[in-house]
């Protein structure tokens, strides 16, 4: 490993954990519906954001959760699972700190609004060009999130793939290129979502309403990382907020501590009872002599003499 670096992981915030569970559940529901209930792309088409005649207003929301395999004529494949894993990794890696910096409400507004505006722009551009562009998935929100992270911490150093030390702006660029691979409408949606995210950051930074009161930036992977975010976002999140995983670990530690204290208390009580019994036996010996003790009492005195 590179000298001067230590592997650190972002604390999984409650807001990000909820999103990850939601997206994984949506993937699982569509997988089951496609494989076991013969639900095809035609039935799921109303969930996708498009300009078709059967447009549903709720598709402005439902398109966030649509998986490519569910609307593909080829169905689900191994690549869909890999894509989900890659997207969850990005959401956890970059989103956890942004969620802590801004608070879950502001983060959700940023994430979903950027995705929605990107989707609407994609559909509108398709109509203007006479192309059947559609929008689905949450890749646009991920693109906006990564751009925001690169804007806030452009010079923070991290170990890319746990091997190569790079600045965040280059890591974000590399991941963004991978994220853009795919259909033309997907490319348009993610670029538009990223642009919407940048505009969102600009407007909120001018108003000063996007961050909370006390945030001390922590290194992401590297001990050499810049600890302060760029521009006015340095004022951000509540460091006192612990993620759900961190709270679970804290409860485990508390339970272990309680067990240790209970064990010590029982040991003290046992020794007190042993001392009282020893005092009783010594008093008996002084009155009646050593021969008055039973074999069991003599064994107890011998054991007590070694412990007390």
Among 119-128, 134-143, 160-169, the minimum mean pLDDT is found in: 160-169
CA–CA gap between residue 72 and residue 58 (Å, rounded): 21
Same domain, 236 and 263: no
Q: Is the pLDDT of residue 101 over 50?
A: yes
Same domain, 119 and 177: yes
8 Å CB contact between 34 and 70? yes
Domain range spanning residue 288? 248-307
**At 222, phi and psi to the nearest 5?**
-110, 145
**Which pLDDT band holds residue 24 (cuts at 50, 70, 90)?**
very high
Same domain, 206 and 268: no
What's the whole-model pTM score?
0.66
Same domain, 39 and 118: yes
Q: Is the pLDDT of residue 223 over 60?
A: no
Same domain, 259 and 225: no
**Can you give the chain as a three-state secondary structure string?**
CCCCECCCCCCCCHHHHHHHHHHHHHHHHHHHHHHHCCCCHHHHHHHCECCCCCCCCCHHHHHHHCCHHHHCCCCCCHHHHHHHHHHHHHHHHHHHHHHHHHCHHHHHHHHHHHHHHHHHHHHHHHHHHCCCCCECCCHHHHHHHHHHHHHHCCCCEEEECCCEEEEHHHHHHHHHHHHCCCCHHHHHHHHHHHHHHHHHHHHHHHHCCCCCCCCCCCCCCECCCCCCCCHHHHHCCCCCCCCHHHHHHHHHHHHHHHHHHHHHHHHHHHHHHHHHHHHHHHHHHHHHCHHHCCHHHHHHHHHHHHHC
Q: Give the number of other Cβ atoms within 10 Å of residue 68's Cβ.
A: 20
* Structure-token pair, residue 7: 């592997």
Q: Give the number of other Cβ atoms within 10 Å of residue 232's Cβ.
A: 14
Cα dihedral sign for 151, 7, 181, 189? Answer: negative
Same domain, 142 and 217: yes
pLDDT tens-digit readout, 237-246: 343 344 444 5
**Which pLDDT band holds residue 208 (cuts at 50, 70, 90)?**
low
**At 165, phi and psi to the nearest 5?**
-75, 120
Domain membership flag for residue 108: yes
- Count of structural domains, the chain: 2
Mean pLDDT, rounded, for 21-48: 91
Domain membership flag for residue 7: no
Q: What is the domain-level CATH number for residue 100?
A: 1.20.1540.10
Mean pLDDT, rounded, for 281-303: 84
Q: Is the pLDDT of residue 56 over 60?
A: yes
Same domain, 275 and 234: no
pLDDT mean across residues, the chain: 80
Domain membership flag for residue 130: yes
Same domain, 150 and 262: no
For 126, 256, 300, the CA distances from 144, given in Å and listed in that order, are 21, 42, 74
């Amino acid at each position: 490993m590179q000298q001067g670096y230590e592997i650190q992981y972002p604390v999984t915030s409650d807001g990000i954990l909820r999103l990850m569970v939601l997206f994984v559940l949506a993937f699982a529901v569509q997988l089951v519906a496609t494989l076991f209930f013969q639900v095809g792309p035609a039935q799921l088409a109303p969930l996708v954001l498009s300009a078709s005649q059967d447009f549903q207003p709720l598709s402005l929301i439902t398109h966030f959760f649509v998986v490519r395999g569910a609307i593909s004529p080829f169905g689900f494949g191994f690549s869909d699972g890999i894509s989900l894993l890659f997207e969850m990794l990005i959401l956890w890696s970059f989103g956890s700190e942004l969620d802590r910096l801004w608070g879950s409400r502001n983060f959700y507004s940023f994430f979903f609004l950027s995705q929605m505006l990107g989707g609407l722009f994609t559909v509108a551009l398709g109509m203007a060009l006479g192309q059947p562009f559609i929008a689905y998935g949450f890749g646009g929100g991920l693109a906006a999130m990564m751009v925001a992270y690169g804007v806030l911490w452009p010079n923070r150093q991290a170990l890319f793939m746990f091997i190569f030390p790079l600045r965040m702006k280059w890591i974000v660029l590399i991941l963004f290129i991978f994220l853009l691979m795919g259909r033309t409408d997907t490319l348009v949606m993610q670029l538009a979502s990223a642009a919407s995210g940048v505009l969102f950051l600009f407007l909120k930074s001018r108003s000063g309403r996007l961050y909370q009161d006390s945030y001390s930036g922590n290194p992401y992977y590297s001990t050499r990382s810049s600890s302060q975010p760029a521009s006015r976002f340095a004022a951000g999140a509540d460091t006192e907020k612990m993620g759900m995983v961190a709270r679970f670990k804290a409860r485990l530690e508390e339970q272990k501590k309680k067990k240790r204290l209970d064990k010590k208390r029982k040991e003290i009580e046992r020794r007190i009872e042993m001392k009282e019994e020893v005092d009783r036996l010594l008093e008996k010996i002084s009155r009646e002599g050593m021969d008055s003790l039973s074999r069991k009492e003599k064994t107890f005195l011998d054991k007590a003499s070694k412990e007390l």
